Structure 1
Amino acid sequence: MKLPFGRWGLGCAQLGNLYTAIEDDVAAATVAAAWDAGVRYFDTAPHYGLGVSERRLGAALRARPRHEFTVSTKVGRLLVPTPDSGGARDPEGFDVPATHQRVWDFSADGVRRSLSDSLHRLGLDRIDLALIHDPEDHQETALRRAYPVLHDLRRQGVVRAIGVGSKQVDVLRRFAMETDVDAVMVAGRYTLLEQPALDALLPECRRKGIGVVNVGVFNSGLLAVDRPHDGLHYEYGDAPSTVVDKARAIAEVCARHGTSLPAAAMAFAAAHPAVATVVVGAESPDQVKRNAALIAAPPPPADLWAELVAAGLLRADAPVPQPSGIR
């Protein structure tokens, strides 16, 4: 099923206080800024802030016409209350109290419970896209138990579409080959910095008509600044010096051609014909407006991509943006 994603969507991990806490009103204003910029696709998950992202997103969308927006959330982690947390903070990168713990559960009952809990937090009557979340260490259970129940829920109309999200290309390709998913969410594996999804995953998705939702296109923040530096995130941790050096080299080429690293990263991420949409996170209205401007800008010049290829900084077989627009 082809969902109305739009050119780009808002990733809502930051609404769950990823790395840094934001206030409820800032979260609401961030969603409002995305809406004003034309965004109608919003991606969240129970994992993001132990449910905080889902609650904030649902509150921000409550007054919007339901038929005008698309929401994806995820299954695979159940949130179990921890009443005796003793004031501890969440240990997985979200600045929230550890009121719950995440429990891996890809069983049929776990999937149903996860979706029911998400609907309650979001305050919605349906999920548009339900994604199996990070099944890397649980592939067999996810394939044999989580996927069949999602397939059945799609048949019943409980969810409109189903898919899988992961940072591992081989996992995504296995689902693309062995199941009837509508979408795969590729996290950080098809960016201006690295393109492992180009070899087999994206061609398989294009062959089968599976929509690719490209997320993590700034590689956790490393490509989100004009001048990459030490201390930025990569893979949700500190970026290794070799990776920072490559990002710097790409940024220098961008500057020589009159564009920025974030602009080139965004344009490149959307250029492959298998990519249905690009999802970018934001923690403030200003970040949304910056990303909207990047999306709306003319693509970088063709000479930029040629120089990146010549310098060994970009694969020669990677599709690049055409002068007529971001695609």
Structure 2
Amino acid sequence: MTLGKVLPEHIGFGTAPMGNMFRAVPDDEASATLNAAWDQGIRYYDSAPLYGAGLAEIRLGELLSQKPRDAYVLSSKVGRVILDEVEPGSRDLGEKGSLFAAGRPNKILHEWTADATERSIEGSLKRLGVDRLDIVWVHDVAQDFHGDLWLGKFEEARTGAFRVLARLRDEGVIKAWGLGVNRTEPVELTLALDEPKPDGFLLAGRYTLLDHEHALQRLLPMAQEQGVGMVVGGPYSSGILAGGSHFEYQDAPAEIVERVERIKAIADRNRVAIKAAALQFSLAHPVSVAVIPGATKPSRITEDLAALHEQVPKRFWQELREARLVSPMAPLPGGV
């Protein structure tokens, strides 16, 4: 089954913020946001054990466990196993640093073996309060590793998580599987394998209005040739494209702030919401099947849905192209 047939719509909800990403989100605020997403028609939800050491899955489960299971599509990830014991001291999340410092204090094992994959899925189902996942992503495989260690971790996933998920898909237990990463190289390496073959991938932050050059050079042509779909995570580049101050999970550097200001100036001149530009750009590539912005306030859901359907004039995209703010290889909405 192709990824596009699994997903019901072009926009979903990414639940990393529900894991207290960047800040401690009160329970009532998280609940109100998730309910707003459901009430406004969002029917695809993506989560991960990493998000707050299970907190995002628990919060999402409070909503979805009360809804008809066939009414929505649910994805989560493997590669991290959340233990009941508390992590002593600070935990190492690599480049993601203290991103979920306000999450649960549970110890996290970083493993992509077959056994860890099955344990991860069992833990997710329990926290979510559901009986099945529709899509499972292999999370951050080989992230923060280099050289032989990078390849060793990828091989662990290839012989472990990949094969388990391919079997579960073939048995009909899940509908699709792939990689959930914010680097293009692991996906390229996976697509080059003879087997097992993924159905798609979730690429966070690497196909956005701010950062898309590398994905266009090799990954997306490979995916298009093989009929593999992409879910775009982090379409606002960690928030900088939605009025925030973060890029790549850190404070945005001066050159990124300056680039955003240039984009915003063109958007303002054409009376275009920058959120609309961000979402519609990420969805314009034929490999893209869905985009999953996150939120911590109900009003943001309304903004995202309005941005998705906003009428953006062709002149706006032409000006971005002329200003060299988008790659000449990037497909633009309306065929510009």
Q: Spell out, residue by residue over 1:46-101, the C-alpha distance to the aligned partner (whole angstroms, 9 max, x if none).
A: 0001101001101111221110101110000111233474899x963225355312
Residue 46 of structure 2 is aligned to residue 43 of structure 1: yes
Residues 145 and 64 from structure 1, CA distance in 2 versus in 1: closer, same or farther, beyond 3 angstroms? same
Where does residue 135 of structure 1 map in the other structure? 141
Where does residue 173 of structure 1 map in the other structure? 188
Where does residue 148 of structure 2 map in the other structure? none
TM-score of the pair, normalised by structure 1:
0.92
CA distance in structure 1 between the partners assigned to 2:19 and 2:282 by the alignment: 24
Conserved 8 A contact 1:189-1:197 = yes
CA distance in structure 1 between the partners assigned to 2:99 and 2:89 by the alignment: 18
Q: Spell out, residue by residue over 1:121-177, the C-alpha distance to the aligned partner (whole angstroms, 9 max, x if none).
A: 001100100100000232121112210111112122222211101111121122123
Residue of 107, 113, 136 corresponding to 2:119:
113
Equivalences for residues 271-310 of structure 1 within 5 A: 271-298=284-311, 300-310=312-322
Where does residue 124 of structure 1 map in the other structure? 130
Where does residue 63 of structure 2 map in the other structure? 60
Residue 205 of structure 2 is aligned to residue 188 of structure 1: yes
What secondary structure sits across from 1:32 in the alignment? helix
Residues 256 and 97 from structure 1, CA distance in 2 versus in 1: closer, same or farther, beyond 3 angstroms? closer
Where does residue 197 of structure 1 map in the other structure? 215
Residues 80 and 270 from structure 1, CA distance in 2 versus in 1: closer, same or farther, beyond 3 angstroms? same
Equivalences for residues 1-327 of structure 1 within 5 A: 1=1, 2-83=5-86, 85=88, 92-96=98-102, 98-136=104-142, 137=145, 138-178=153-193, 179-195=196-212, 196-225=214-243, 232-298=245-311, 300-322=312-334
Q: Spell out, residue by residue over 1:225-247, the C-alpha distance to the aligned partner (whole angstroms, 9 max, x if none).
A: 2xx7xxx1011011111111111
CA distance in structure 2 between the partners assigned to 1:56 and 1:98 by the alignment: 12
CA distance in structure 2 between the partners assigned to 1:150 and 1:319 by the alignment: 32
What secondary structure sits across from 2:198 in the alignment? coil
TM-score of the pair, normalised by structure 2:
0.89
Residues 63 and 162 from structure 1, CA distance in 2 versus in 1: closer, same or farther, beyond 3 angstroms? same
What secondary structure sits across from 1:293 in the alignment? helix
Task: Tell me which amino acid in the other structure corresponds to 1:112.
Answer: E
What secondary structure sits across from 1:71 in the alignment? strand
CA distance in structure 1 between the partners assigned to 2:75 and 2:268 by the alignment: 36
Conserved 8 A contact 1:87-1:98 = no
CA distance in structure 2 between the partners assigned to 1:107 and 1:249 by the alignment: 45
Task: Tell me which amino acid in the other structure corresponds to 1:81.
Answer: D
In the TM superposition, residue 119 of structure 1 has moved relative to its aligned partner by 0.4
CA distance in structure 2 between the partners assigned to 1:92 and 1:154 by the alignment: 34
Conserved 8 A contact 1:85-1:98 = no
Give the unaligned 5+ runs of structure 2: 146-152
Conserved 8 A contact 2:273-2:307 = no
Task: Tell me which amino acid in the other structure corresponds to 2:240.
Answer: L
CA RMSD of the aligned region, Å? 2.1
CA distance in structure 2 between the partners assigned to 1:177 and 1:278 by the alignment: 25
Deviates more, 1:9-18 or 1:190-199: 190-199
CA distance in structure 1 between the partners assigned to 2:8 and 2:260 by the alignment: 29
Q: Percent identity?
A: 37
What secondary structure sits across from 1:103 in the alignment? strand
Residues 252 and 84 from structure 1, CA distance in 2 versus in 1: closer, same or farther, beyond 3 angstroms? closer
Give the unaligned 5+ runs of structure 1: none
